[in-house]
Amino acid sequence: MRIMGLDYGSRTVGVAISDELLITAQAKEIIRRKEENKLRKTLARIEELIREYGVEKIVLGLPLNMDESVSERSELCLEFRDRIERRTGIPVEMMDERLTTVEADEIMDEVGIRDRFKRKEYVDMIAAQIILQDYLDNRLKR
C-alpha cells in the first residue's frame, strides 16, 4: 500500500508518494494546467499515478487561515477532494498545510536553489512531500 500526497494550487498540483512501508514521502512531480478550472487532464494524471504506484489513500493539503478558519482556497481544495473521490473511489484525507510553502522555501535555501524561476518549479512538489511526510509522521505517533 502507498499513500499519495497532493498540494493543490491554482495552476499546479504537487505530487508526492509514500514508500510501501509508509515511513517516507518522496516528491514525484508537478501536474500543470493552463487554467484553474481545467481539471480533466489533472485528474487523469492522478489516476495514472494511482495505478502506477498502487495508491490506496490520498492526503490533500488544506490551506486554512492562521486562525484555523476556512478560506476561499480551502473551499476550492474541498471541492477538488470531492472530485478526486468521485472519479477514483479512493478516500482523500485533508491535512492542514499551513506554512508548508515557507518550509519548502527553507528546504530550497538549504540545498542552494536560489534562482527564483527554479524555486517556482519545485515549491509545489516539495510542499506535497512535506504534507505527506507530516501525515506519515503523525500516523506513526497515533
For domain 2-141, give the fold.
Nucleotidyltransferase; domain 5 (3.30.420)
Instruction: Kindly list the distances between the CA atom of residue 131 and the CA atoms of 18, 114, 115, 125, in Å, as whole numbers in the listed order.
Output: 11, 23, 24, 10
Indicate if the pLDDT at residue 119 is higher than 60: no
Highest mean pLDDT among 38-52, 105-119, 125-139: 38-52
pLDDT tens digits for range 24-77? 999 999 999 988 778 999 999 999 999 999 999 999 999 887 777 788 888 999
pLDDT of residue 83: 96
> Using an 8 Å Cβ cutoff, are 48 and 31 in contact?
no
* Dist. CA 57–CA 118, nearest whole Å: 30
Instruction: Kindly list the distances between the CA atom of residue 112 and the CA atoms of 23, 88, 108, 117, in Å, as whole numbers in the listed order.
Output: 26, 38, 6, 13
Beta-carbon-side half-sphere exposure of residue 33 (alpha carbons within 13 Å): 19
> Using an 8 Å Cβ cutoff, are 4 and 16 in contact?
yes
Taking the alpha carbons at both ends of the chain, their separation in whole angstroms is: 19
- Cβ-count burial of 102 within 10 angstroms (0-12 exposed, 13-18 middle, 19+ buried)? exposed
Percent of the chain whose pLDDT exceeds 90: 59
Average pLDDT score over the chain: 87
What's the DSSP call for residue 99? T
| Residue 101 or residue 35, greater confidence | 35
Indicate if the pLDDT at residue 120 is higher than 70: no
Every domain of the chain and the residues it spans: 2-141
pLDDT of residue 30: 93
